[in-house]
Structure 1
């Protein structure tokens, strides 16, 4: 699935944030200025689609690093949940915890959903490619997990020129 061509965040500065990682250490987007950032939001640790997506990004971490990119996964789960998720699936990917959904809201990824006739708010599976200057240069909304890491890598290669 190609990135969307219209999105409120496209060509704008990426919303700044600081969030705890799996070890409860604060990580800020600003720390990665000068590098490409693949920022992906996912609904829940240890669920089938989220596990597939995390494992595919994790498997490609060295390739992303070779392209000068940092991959960051964000969900509303706690740092402890991220620790368990990472240990269970041998993940070394950077996972951040947004339990208050502030960052998810800032990126338009905390949205109303419907399941079994009930409405609730939840995380949309979205990905943002941020250039070294901090600008959002590609957006994927409602991502399908299988093969997504490869799609992002292809676009990153195109954007790097």
Structure 2
């Protein structure tokens, strides 16, 4: 039997409530405190987990999100990446591959990963590549789990577009 490339293994399923969190974050090299509830007050959000800053797949994914930020902004969506990296690393990552276009948050105690069932099974302390698309009411609209960083960006945009279409009916 072949596994589907985006078979969701996350405990948090579509329709579930997204856990609120705040964490040290960086945007364009500047540290601040990211708060999901505040982000959702402005519109939907994409919370994407990635294993480690400056690795090949994570760099590609950050660059793809950065290149697509005009589309995310048009959909009034906040994007935040979450990893177990320290804030000093994330300050550099937010300026480099993220292009200063979206925040990356430090999950120092791995509590966000635990709440979202995003911990890597093989390497503890690191996040798996999982993306959550979350509505302003904190309902999870979609979950994507898989290796391809490019697909997380495309599928997150598709989920947001579908949600906006539904809202505008």
Shorter-chain TM-score: what band?
Answer: 0.7 to 0.9
How many residues are treated as equivalent by the alignment?
Answer: 156
Structure-1 residue corresponding to 2:60: 52
Structure-2 residue corresponding to 1:140: 144
Q: Is 1:18 aligned to 2:22, yes or no?
A: yes
Which stretches in structure 2 are left out of the alignment for 5+ residues?
Answer: none
Give the Cα separation in 1 of the matches to 2:10 and 2:49.
19
Give the Cα separation in 2 of the matches to 1:111 and 1:47.
15
Using structure 2 for the length normalisation, give the TM-score: 0.83
Q: Is 1:85 aligned to 2:93, yes or no?
A: yes
- Worse-matched range after superposition: 140-149 or 97-106: 140-149
Which stretches in structure 1 are left out of the alignment for 5+ residues?
Answer: 114-118
Give the Cα separation in 2 of the matches to 1:141 and 1:48.
18
Give the Cα separation in 2 of the matches to 1:109 and 1:5.
9
Is this contact kept in 2: 1:7–1:139, CA < 8 A?
A: no
- Describe the SS at the equivalent of 1:45: coil
Q: Is 1:67 aligned to 2:71, yes or no?
A: no
Which digits, 9 at most, give the CA deviation of each residue in 1:113-142, with x for residues without a partner?
Answer: 1xxxxx645311000000011111111112
Using structure 1 for the length normalisation, give the TM-score: 0.87
Give the Cα separation in 2 of the matches to 1:148 and 1:103.
19
Structure-2 residue corresponding to 1:99: 108
**Corresponding residue to 1:108 among 117, 134, 140:** 117
Give the Cα separation in 2 of the matches to 1:138 and 1:3.
12
Structure 1 or 2: larger strand share? 1
* Deviation of the 1:13 alpha carbon: 1.4
- Worse-matched range after superposition: 19-28 or 133-142: 19-28
Which digits, 9 at most, give the CA deviation of each residue in 1:34-78, with x for residues without a partner?
Answer: 411011000000000000000000111111011111111111111
* Deviation of the 1:97 alpha carbon: 0.7
Q: Is 1:33 aligned to 2:40, yes or no?
A: yes
